[in-house]
Amino acid sequence: GELMDLIRTEGQRMTAAQPSETTVGNMVRRVLKVIREEYGRLHGRSEESDQQESLHKLLTSGGLSEDFRTPYPSLRANVIEAINEMLIELEGTTDNIAMQALEHIHSNEVIMTIGYSRTVEAFLKEAARKRKFQVIVAECAPFCQGHEMAVRLSKEGIETTVMSDAAIFAVMSRVNKVIIGTKTILANGALIAVSGTHTLALAAKHHSTPLIVCAPMFKLSPQFPNEEDSFHKFVSPQEVLPFTEGAILAKINVHCPVFDYVPPELITLFISNIGGNAPSYIYRLMSELYHPDDYEL
Amino acid sequence: PDAPRCLSDLIETFRAQLRDDPDVASAVAAIRALLGFLKQDRGETIQGLRNSLRDAIDTLSRVDSSVAVSSGGELFLRFISLTSLEYSDYSKCKEIMIERGEIFLTKVSLSRNKIAKLCHPFIRDGARILTHAYSRVVLRVLEAAVEAKKRFSVYVTESQPDEAGQKMAKALRKLNIPVIVILDAAVGYIMEKVDLVLVGAEGVVESGGIINKIGTNQIAVCAKAQNKPFYVVAESFKFVRLFPLNQQDVPDRFKYKADTLKTSQNLKEEHPWIDYTSPSLITLLFTDLGVLTPSAVSDELIKLYL
């Protein structure tokens, strides 16, 4: 009980410091779930007993939920071991995702992506070892991370083209698949990704092109898109309109949002380290990773 | 000899509960009445108990044919079966059932507050909400939003033929929420002004769709056409094991009031009181089991019934 409260307070402090970095909160929640499981195991509860709320539990439970007050000396060692396992899993996520590349990319395909994502880069590099295909990268203004992605991909010998964000819709008719990375996956299957991804997703939907999201499981966050969680981050508008344009700046408002919200209907498939899933299945994965009491840290 | 008297007692308890506490959900009142029936049942076997309970549930549905009473009764029966599997000694079993029944009733009476807590963050400041007919859960959610100091305005459909919308508007005015009552036919007209749609449900079906007062399907279709989020709030005991594929699949015994079913000559000429909204039109469901996407609903039902 005390251990969980300690971790929870630390988690709250960390998430308050940088609310757009949701992975911090996700990891804290996973640690809390690990602690609950280990405690349950030591307490003698069977593995199958469901920790989640369900109609079934509503009918059969005899009393209130357990408190975590009984001390167990071996609890600490078990928890540390479980956390180490988790660390090993985290380090292997990019490789796990890349291993699935061959099933999804075929020869002579035209793939579109946006901005720079290390996961997508590893994914495409792995496929390039056995298949020949082309990649079109949208440069993702104003930071133009797409340029760096294109340089890295072409070093591996993949035919790469860079184009501006405005041309996404125009080129979409020639594209076979869209593969992107993301910052966060929300509980309803929606994405928070770099600015410009929503445009890309709408264009893909219009042309019925499959949209594949490559993201490791630690990016799955149990939050829903509501106003309270303001996931938007704005940075200096210097990139959009530089400060040298002083005369205009006084008369206009300039914004530079970093993230975009992409609704779940536009996404075809999520590829993560545990395999491919449809957006409507995300709620299930969430119940395996986190405990409902921890959704609100 | 005992049976008819017990049954009429049962109906009396059920009616009395609805009279004394107009705020209680009809399913909860049904379950409470059934628990009372269970307590004074003088049978000796589980089979006998189940049979008499089935009769009791049938009688209740003849009094009030709503989906909620049926799902509440089904749940209670399931509850009995699950408990009886664990204990073979009948009297011990009965004690445990009564104890668990009381706990169950306390839990479900808290469910509305749980839902309100989950749902009110989704209402932004300055939002314009559209709701349909009279739903106590929606009322509770809006109350919670007011307590959280949010400012919003509400459009309510009049909801003929019983003008339930007027009742809702009166209750909302008491909470100092600006409310406008609109015609059922004006939903398409008003949809462009609205930020989100929030409705209750009489029943939630296995596919993730809902059964609610007639007119809900229209609102859902309009909302989808104009890209407005369509939220449903429902307690978990409203989940039923139905899988309607279209409007015709919803059983007649739910569509019409109990008296109409008994007296009418030709059901085709009666107006149905409920309709079915398909899950593709619903954005999210708020239940006391958490915030669910429509696809998560069938998972919950499977966990219960398997």
* SS3 track for A84-122: HHHHHHHHCHHHHHHHCHHHHCCCCCEEEEECCCHHHHH
pLDDT of residue A59: 54
pLDDT cut 70: percent of chain B above it: 97
CB pair distance less than 8 Å for A59 and B122: no
Q: Under DSSP, is residue A275 helix (H, G, I), strand (E, B) or coil?
A: strand
Which of A58, A60, A224 minimises the CB distance to B291?
Answer: A224
Residues on B contacting A at a C-beta cutoff of 8 Å: 75, 78-79, 82-83, 96, 99-100, 103-104, 107-108, 121-122, 124-125, 236-237, 239, 284, 288-293, 295-296, 299-301, 303-304
Q: What is the mean pLDDT of each run of 10 residues along chain A (297 residues)?
A: 80 80 83 81 56 53 52 77 87 87 90 90 90 90 86 91 91 93 88 90 94 90 67 74 76 81 90 86 83 74
Helix, strand and coil content of chain A, in percent to the nearest 5, comes to 45, 15, 40
Identify all chain B residues contacting A261, using CB atoms and an 8 Å cutoff: none
Q: Does domain B2-109 have CATH number 3.40.50.280?
A: no
A49 touches B at CB < 8 Å: no
Q: Vertex A50, ends A44 and A54: CA angle to 5°?
A: 145
pLDDT of residue A58: 55
pLDDT of B225 above 90? yes
Which of A62, A224, A227 minimises the CB distance to B100?
Answer: A62
The domains found in chain A, sorted by start residue, are 1-88 (no CATH), 94-294 (3.40.50.10470)
Question: Residues B117, B141: contact at Cβ < 8 Å?
Answer: no
Question: Residues A212, A175: contact at Cβ < 8 Å?
Answer: no
Identify all chain A residues contacting B228, using CB atoms and an 8 Å cutoff: none
Beta bridge partners of B242: none
Which of A53, A59, A283 minimises the CB distance to B82?
Answer: A59
**Minimum mean pLDDT among A260-269, B58-67, B127-136: which range?**
B58-67
Question: Residues B196, B127: contact at Cβ < 8 Å?
Answer: yes
Which of B239, B299, B301 minimises the CB distance to A284?
Answer: B299
Q: Got the DSSP string for chain B?
A: -HHHHHHHHHHHHHHHHHHH-TTS-HHHHHHHHHHHHHHT---SSHHHHHHHHHHHHHHHHHH---HHHHHHHHHHHHHHHHHHHH--SHHHHHHHHHHHHHHHHHHHHHHHHHHHHHHGGGS-TTEEEEEES--HHHHHHHHHHHHTT--EEEEEE--TTTTHHHHHHHHHHHTT--EEEE-GGGHHHHGGG-SEEEE--SEE-TTS-EEEETTHHHHHHHHHHTT--EEEE--GGGB-S---SSGGGS-HHHHS-HHHHHH-S-GGGSPPSEEEE-GGG--EEEETTEEE-HHHHHHHHHHHH-
pLDDT of residue A171: 93
> From CA B190, how far away is CA B183, in angstroms rounded?
10
A65 against B110, higher pLDDT: B110
pLDDT of residue B1: 45
Identify all chain A residues contacting B293, using CB atoms and an 8 Å cutoff: 188-189, 280, 282-283
pLDDT of residue A47: 41
**How many alpha carbons fall within 13 Å on the CB side of residue B175?**
22
Burial B157-194 (b: 16+ CB within 10 A, else e): bbbeeeebbeebbebbeeeebebebeebeebeebbeeb
Question: Residues A118, A98: contact at Cβ < 8 Å?
Answer: no
Identify all chain A residues contacting B122, using CB atoms and an 8 Å cutoff: 224, 226-227
Q: Which chain A residue shows the shortest CA-CA distance from B99?
A: A62
pLDDT of residue B114: 87
The arithmetic mean of pLDDT across residues B199-211, rounded, is: 90
Indicate whether this model's pTM tops 0.90: no
Q: Classify residue A234 by its DSSP letter.
A: B
Q: What's the burial of B124, exposed, middle or buried (CB within 10 Å: 0-12/13-18/19+)? A: middle
Q: Which chain B residue shows the shortest CA-CA distance from A264?
A: B283
The torsion of the CA quartet A47, A53, A55, A61, rounded to 10 degrees, works out to 60
Identify all chain B residues contacting A224, using CB atoms and an 8 Å cutoff: 122, 284, 291
pLDDT of residue B297: 82
**Mean pLDDT value across chain B:** 84
Sequence spans of domains, chain B: 2-109, 115-305
B4 against A97, higher pLDDT: A97
pLDDT of residue B216: 93
Domain at B115-305, CATH from 2.60.120.260, 3.40.50.10470, 3.30.70.100, 3.30.1490.120? 3.40.50.10470
pLDDT of residue A56: 57
A65 touches B at CB < 8 Å: no
pLDDT of B155 above 70? yes
CA torsion sign for A54, B205, B210, A285 is positive
Q: Which of A56, A230, A286 to mutate to test the interface with B (most CBs of B within 10 A)?
A: A56
